[in-house]
């Protein structure tokens, strides 16, 4: 518990003290699109940590042909989407990795705008267990009691069309697969919280994913080299996007821990979920052999010809 609190305090201090960082104005980004010519494209709606004031929050838009999926929708994600020319009502498919606010804080806006303005339901990829946690502990209070529907409060399914991933029999980490159109997803448990958890088995539910068998996206995870090596062995990974914090302790992978990964892994790994002082670490990240940072509002394209 003390380690976790120290991590939260350090992350907060990185933003708020001793000197408040200057938020640099950036040029307006190109409008985001929800269709492409069939390539797999990944756009980081944000790439920052939970408390970032410069890089929004680490949420990902996947587009492939006519299909799209937003991975997580944090507190600031509706604002970030608006800067990219999109409303949350334009997003038809969501996936939730876990229930911290930088990953689900925008979902109430999604639900209310969809139900009362757009008159639609979005699809959501979520495991049954995480669905229950998400609704009962996070979303119900702001959504269930806005109306009486058929003599009862509203339910999760009144707002969402859930897509439950199918468990792969005998697979480790509760591996489960799902499809959103022609986007193939494999979800797996990660070791994120609490800080005392010895493995993913005694961690609170949180998930990473492999996209189209090509891309590993860890979402939030402590340092877990067994996971990265296993996924790299199981899939022909072209790129890895890995959680990274810039100080030790807490519930995220520390940069200097990630330095121990094999050189071939680091060469295709971009770091995400970083704090607002990341510019001070550019040289160190390059020195360690990482591909670099996942950048806010940047689209990473993986051509059709490279598909496996």
Domain ranges of the chain: 2-20+28-306
For residues 300 and 230, give the distance between their C-alpha atoms in angstroms, rounded to a whole number.
24
Q: How confident is the model at residue 115 (pLDDT cuts 50, 70, 90)?
A: very high
Q: How confident is the model at residue 305 (pLDDT cuts 50, 70, 90)?
A: low
Q: What are 244-270's pLDDT values in tens digits?
A: 999 999 999 999 999 999 999 999 999
What is the residue-wise DSSP string for 31-67? PP-S--SS-EEEEEEE-B-TT-SSS-B-EEEEEETTE
Its pTM stands at 0.90
For residues 134 and 104, is the Cβ–Cβ distance under 8 A? yes
pLDDT for 251 equals 97
Mean pLDDT across the chain: 91
Calculate mean pLDDT across residues 88-97.
98
What superfamily in CATH does domain 2-20+28-306 come from?
Ribonuclease Z/Hydroxyacylglutathione hydrolase-like (3.60.15.10)
For the chain, what's the residue count? Answer: 308
High-pLDDT (> 70) share of the chain, %: 89
Q: What are 27-46's pLDDT values in tens digits?
A: 447 789 999 999 999 999 99
Closest to 138 measured CA to CA, from 96, 112, 105, 109? 105
The helix or strand, by DSSP H or E, that contains position 293, with its residue range, turns out to be strand 292-293
Q: How many Cα atoms are found within 13 Å in the side-chain-facing hemisphere of 151?
A: 0
């Amino acid at each position: 518990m003390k380690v976790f609190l120290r991590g939260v305090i350090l992350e907060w201090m990185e933003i708020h003290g001793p000197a408040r960082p200057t938020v640099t104005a950036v040029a307006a980004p190109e409008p985001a699109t929800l269709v492409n010519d069939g390539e797999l494209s990944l756009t980081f709606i944000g790439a920052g940590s939970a408390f970032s004031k410069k890089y929004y929050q680490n949420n990902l838009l996947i587009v492939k042909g006519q299909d799209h999926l937003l991975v997580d929708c944090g507190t600031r994600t509706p604002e970030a989407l608006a800067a990219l020319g999109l409303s949350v009502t334009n997003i038809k498919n969501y996936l939730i990795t876990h229930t911290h606010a930088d990953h689900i804080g925008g979902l109430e806006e999604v639900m209310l705008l969809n139900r009362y303005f757009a008159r639609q339901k979005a699809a959501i990829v979520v495991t049954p267990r995480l669905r229950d946690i998400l609704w009962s502990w996070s979303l119900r209070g702001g959504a269930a009691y806005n109306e009486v529907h058929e003599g009862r409060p509203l339910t999760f399914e009144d707002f969402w069309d859930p897509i439950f991933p199918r468990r792969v029999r005998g697979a480790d980490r509760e591996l489960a697969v799902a499809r959103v159109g022609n986007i193939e997803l494999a979800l797996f448990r990660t070791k994120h919280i609490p800080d005392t958890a010895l493995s993913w088995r005694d961690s609170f539910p949180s998930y990473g994913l492999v996209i189209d068998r090509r891309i590993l996206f860890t979402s939030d995870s402590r340092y877990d080299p067994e996971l990265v090596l296993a996924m790299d062995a199981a899939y022909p990974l072209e790129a890895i996007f890995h959680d990274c914090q810039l100080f030790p302790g807490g519930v995220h992978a520390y940069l200097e821990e990630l330095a121990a990964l094999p050189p071939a892994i680091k060469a295709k790994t971009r770091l995400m979920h970083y704090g607002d002082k990341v510019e001070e670490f550019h040289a160190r990240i390059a020195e360690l052999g990482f591909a670099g940072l996942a950048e806010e509002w940047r689209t990473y394209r993986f051509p059709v010809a490279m598909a496996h």
